[in-house]
Chain A
Amino acid sequence: DGGITQSPKYLFRKEGQNVTLSCEQNLNHDAMYWYRQDPGQGLRLIYYSQIVNDFQKGDIAEGYSVSREKKESFPLTVTSAQKNPTAFYLCASSNRETQYFGPGTRLLVL
């Protein structure tokens, strides 16, 4: 089955710790995206990548980093510089028509 997987489903971060959220897709899509969603809020773009080894900052990139070493994978690292990381993180990929989303990772701070 084709789709987008994200892991883990829940992630706990201690203060000062970097954590990495996984996103994998087998849809053969070139573009991939990371969004942050806060309660009652829309989708805010963190980073996106159009092609392997290339990525651009979105609207709220501070405190986050990404890599795109493979077409299928677009991991997001939430660094210690992100002071308010508690949120629902969604990964998406797109063909030339629209975006398809993964199931999300909920990040909580201990």
Chain B
Amino acid sequence: QQPVQSPQAVILREGEDAVINCSSSKALYSVHWYRQKHGEAPVFLMILLKGGEQKGHDKISASFNEKKQQSSLYLTASQLSYSGTYFCGTEPPGGTSYGKLTFGQGTILTVHP
């Protein structure tokens, strides 16, 4: 079943922060985050494998709460280059041997000067 992302869209001014959530009705093994610019391929940001794990990547970080079956992506001090659609992809418990993911519907992030 498809994970649910919230919000569907967010508009920011440069320097502001945002949080994007990804929730599943099923238990999760891992959560993967991607960003897609319009008309381009999704680009891999990070993977969270363990419950409670947090990862950081520049000013973009994420957490994974295994018990709540959800992950959050944190964008701090947003830059114009952060604009795009953010997708989470999830794997069920036990993972898969070949990386098959189920993707959320996406969150559109727009950063204005």
**A interface residues (Cβ-Cβ under 8 A, vs B):** 30-31, 33, 41-43, 48, 50, 88, 90, 94-104, 106
Contact = CB atoms under 8 A, between A and B. Distances in A.
Interface stretch (B13-21, B58-66, B69-77, B92-100): B92-100
A104 B99 contact: no
B41 A102 contact: yes
Interface in B1-54: 2, 32, 34, 39-44, 47
Contacts of B43: 101
Interface residues of B, number: 21
A42 B103 CA distance: 7
A30 to B, nearest CB: 6
Given A41-B105, A98-B47, A99-B89, A104 B97 contact: no
A21 to B, nearest CB: 14
B101 interface: yes
Contacts of A42: 2, 87, 103-106
15 contacts: A31-B98, A33-B100, A41-B105, A41-B106, A42-B104, A42-B105, A50-B98, A90-B41, A96-B97, A97-B47, A97-B99, A101-B41, A101-B42, A102-B41, A103-B40
A88 to B, nearest CB: 8
Contacts of A95: 99
Nearest to A58: B100
Given A99-B89, A101-B42, A101-B43, 11 more contacts: A33-B100, A41-B106, A42-B2, A42-B105, A43-B87, A90-B41, A94-B99, A97-B99, A101-B34, A102-B41, A106-B39
A35 B100 CA distance: 12
